[in-house]
Chain A
Amino acid sequence: MKTVAVIFGSRSTEHDVSVVTAIASIIKPLELSKKFNVEAVYIAKDGAWYWDETLKDINLFSKGKIDDWLRKTKPASVQFDGGMTLVKEKGLGGRSVKRKIDVAFPATHGTFGEDGSLMGLLRMSNVPFVGCDMDASVLAMDKVLAKLLAMTHNLPTSPMQFADKAGYENNPKNFADACEKSLTYPMFVKPAHLGSSIGISRVKDRTELDNALEVAFHYDDKVLVEQEIPNLIEVTLPIMGNETPQPALLERPLTQAEDFFDFDTKYMHGGKKGKGNGTAGAQGYSELPAKLDPKLYAKAEKLGLDVYKALGCSGLARVDMLINSKTNEVYFNEVNPLPGSLYAHNWREAGISSIDLVQKLIDYAEQRWQTQQKQNTIFATSFLQQF
């Protein structure tokens, strides 16, 4: 049996969401498939890595026992031996226990995980890993870069302004003025790298804009301001695959424009902030599949797939889009390279069970890794002999 290391937690504002994704949506179905040895690798909030069976128990986290457990447990280490081997000390004698990893399954959301950092480490260690590769993760997790890339592919996206922290702090007024000059209210202020709607504000005037920029720069060193799409329908499309990506179902979160999905709505209140009837999904209530005119549905699905390809996504990602329901224009909003709980509820509705989903994702990871192995990374020269 192959050994799959599910890596979760990490130094991220989305640490807790990652724990749920890992234990409920990845470890459980992988173990039920009975086809893999599943190893739980937890990155604590201080960045230390732990590897233990106990970490598969959600009660350890939900009942607040994790801090006590961490105090009593020595962190694990990783051996880079042409692949990746987990190492930890066990028992009174400190006997060393090792486990070679065949596939890594990142379940980390946000910074130090979903943003390409972990993918870079896994790439370096030459171990196949699930989800988008490093470069696609970096692009996807930077909302500004993702939108700029979409623009170069002529994929529609809402008008924006962006600034980095240093530039903004030098002259905050300048940036706010630039936003007001090129965009109209209402606008959305977003930290460029954070997911789960953390630090996002909808602003209707200059005072709100200034405050929102302060908040956003508190979380991130790059911020973008987008013009709101009127008559908004928000939709999201989970996609998986490498060269031939396969879409799940277009899903419409049931919220109003003024109460967009903030963190609490998504994760803490079961998504009940919005109005209307829908399906309880991983991130609250939604319409699944989105009830759109078939032509509009197809248009949004195509844009989602185009964005997925343009950003070089592989394995799995979720593309969020905005629709102006009066003009039927569809705009790319952002890409989430590791959707919370893998968006398993959507895949189930699309006919793919949670067990099949995690297995398919592992297959995609191995396929991509095999393709990469065929690429020559060595170039023979006599350079060293000249010294």
Chain B
Amino acid sequence: MSNLRSMYGIRSAATIFTYMLQNVEYAPGPYVRWFWRTQDFSKVMYRRQLDLTKAARLIRLALIAGMTFQLVMGLLLLALWHWHGWMPGKYFGPILLVSYPLVWAHVVVAPLILGRELKVKPQQKKHITASKQIFEKHSAVKIAIAGSYGKTSMKELLLTVFGEGKKVAATPANKNVAISHAHFARKLEGDEAILLIEYGEGEPGDVRRFSETTQPTHGIITGLAPAHLDKYKTLQAAGEDIFSLADYLHGQNVYINAESLALQPFLKEQYQTYSAADTLGWKVSNVDIRLQGTGFTLSKGKQKLAVHSQLLGRHHIGPLSLAVALGLELGLSEAQVKAGVAKTAPYEHRMFPYKLGGAWIIDDTYNGNIEGIRAGTALLAELPAKRKMYVTPGLVDQGNEAESVHVEMGKLIAAAKPDKVVLMQNSATKHIQAGLESAGYQGEVQVETQPLDFYQNLEQYVAAGDLVLMQNDWTDNYA
């Protein structure tokens, strides 16, 4: 009943459709897929409300006007049939009355597609072409960072460390597609010593195109895991696209994460690797992992460097070692890299520790891939606590690999031996449970049907001595 009210109430339907469009950043494809996947429209606006921006107001107004018009037309046709015996009114009137939400849910994307094709895309193309010249003329060391995961963290980490001794500019936040690179180029001052450019691959050919535009001098490949498989189809195809960065650089100044098993088949002799054991000839020892951060010593010949970061977990040691090694190669002093590493700290929602009700919570809800799950569960296993809890809805965008990835995830969780696992109920739940079961998990499993309720009341579930790891969070369009 509430579903019907949401769909046929003109104002509520217009608000819901606009909300869905806003949530997928007005991308027609994801919006239409979400629309057809939705079984109950009354539950779509679950986590937040529509943000009434100018665009949202305009779209909602157009939807209200369109649906009202169709409703009036339907009634008019019925009236013509009723009072004047106009037979087409008998058939078309009800059709118009019944179909108005469905029709306008789809009609609304037409101007978006037209606007995107006729205005936005040509404008973006112009900016991207202009940015190619800016990058070409810029004399800075240009480090491109690609990979299915860990690239934003790597970029932020390099920015913090290199920033101690050099003028560095980096693409902002997770703005990592061609138009973001173009906007980044326009804002450059020209005297930067190092540029850090993040590549956010989405479909085959993306990384090659990014490389040709930004013309990097160095490349870092952070990892490969199932992501965007709706476009890439296979992990191999995603890997080939990511490694087109290495091809662009002819294998020179290419740094690969040796801890990402999926990258191994793509390795070539001229590539250099980084890991928690060995990075560009630097050996790692004296590793100390706590909730307050990660410390370790790097040694190369007689040179020794003890560093401490506020970042959590063993998986940060490789990237931190690379930041140290590359920083020294690029002319930073030991004191500068050490100070830079000390400043590296977790970002909100990325292995971000905080205290709640006496318990330690590690918020890793922006994590969205199996390698992140591997790192997180390893950290959970390693840290001491009176009681451990693991919370996740699973991973999105896993394509045909969804089942195997989630079974693997279940096994990784089981290996961390948490006392309790909380799963947010969705299509991935049964696969994670299968993984837990196959690994012989003995602890308590709670399947949560009201995720928001759980997150908002987390304090009620925890006590002093508890350690809770929360990995990934599904937005409304995935739930």
Contacts and interface: CB of A to CB of B under 8 A. Distances in A.
Please indicate whether A and B come from the same complex rather than being unrelated chains.
yes
Interface of A: 28-29, 32, 34, 347-356
9 contacts: A28-B457, A32-B460, A350-B464, A351-B464, A351-B466, A353-B461, A353-B463, A354-B460, A355-B461
Nearest to A279: B358
Residues of A contacting B: mostly:
helix
A353 B460 contact: yes
A34 B465 CA distance: 23
A29 B463 contact: no
A351 B387 CA distance: 9
B457 A352 contact: no
B61 to A, nearest CB: 32
Contacts of A354: 459-461
Contacts of B387: 351
B298 interface: no
B386 interface: yes
Contacts, number: 40
B463 A32 contact: no
A354 B461 CA distance: 6
A347 B463 contact: yes
Contacts of B466: 351, 353
Nearest to B454: A32
B390 to A, nearest CB: 16
B363 to A, nearest CB: 18
Contacts of B459: 354
Contact of A351 (B386, B446, B454, B457): B386
B105 interface: no
Contact of A32 (B358, B457, B464, B465): B457
A322 B109 CA distance: 72
A353 B462 contact: yes
A353 B386 contact: no
Contacts of B454: 32
B357 interface: yes
A348 B464 contact: yes
A353 B444 CA distance: 16
Nearest to B449: A34
A355 B460 contact: yes
A300 B173 CA distance: 54
A352 B462 CA distance: 7
B463 A351 contact: yes
Contacts of A353: 357, 460-463, 466
B463 A348 contact: yes
B329 interface: no
Contact of A29 (B386, B460, B465): B460
B25 interface: no
Contacts of B446: 34
Given A32-B461, A349-B358, A351-B387, 19 more contacts: A28-B460, A29-B460, A32-B453, A32-B460, A34-B446, A348-B358, A348-B464, A349-B464, A350-B464, A351-B358, A351-B386, A351-B463, A351-B464, A352-B463, A353-B357, A353-B461, A353-B462, A354-B461, A355-B460
